[in-house]
């Protein structure tokens, strides 16, 4: 009985890890809209160290947008939807 109980892996933690790993990239991309709106509307100063850090963090999305016009169109649309310019 003990060997049967130890041979099975718990499923719930594995499912949680898979869900988190799938959601993190989506949240990364979707967070650029509200962050852009905060900067555009003056809640985050464009001269601040925080803004510089955010530019570094989101530079890969800028690179993708430069090289993939449909992705750039999506980002522009999404940032306008979130209240950015």
| Residue (of 33, 38, 49, 40) closest to 82 by Cα position | 33
**Does this model's pTM top 0.85?**
no
For residue 81, the model assigns a pLDDT of: 95
Both tokens of residue 7?
């041979």
The alpha carbon of residue 54 and the mean position of all alpha carbons in its chain are separated, in whole angstroms, by 12
- What is the per-residue pLDDT across 33-72, written as a single tens digit (0 to 9) for each? 999 999 999 999 999 999 999 999 999 999 999 999 999 9
- What confidence score (pLDDT) does residue 2 get? 54
């Amino acid at each position: 009985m003990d060997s049967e109980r130890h041979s099975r892996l718990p499923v719930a933690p594995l499912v949680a890890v898979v869900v988190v790993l799938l959601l993190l990239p989506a949240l990364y991309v979707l967070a650029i809209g509200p962050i852009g709106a905060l900067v555009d509307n003056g809640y985050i100063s464009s001269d601040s160290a925080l803004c510089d850090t955010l530019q570094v963090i989101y530079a890969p999305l800028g690179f993708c947008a430069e090289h993939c016009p449909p992705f750039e169109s999506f980002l522009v649309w999404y940032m306008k939807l979130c209240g950015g310019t």
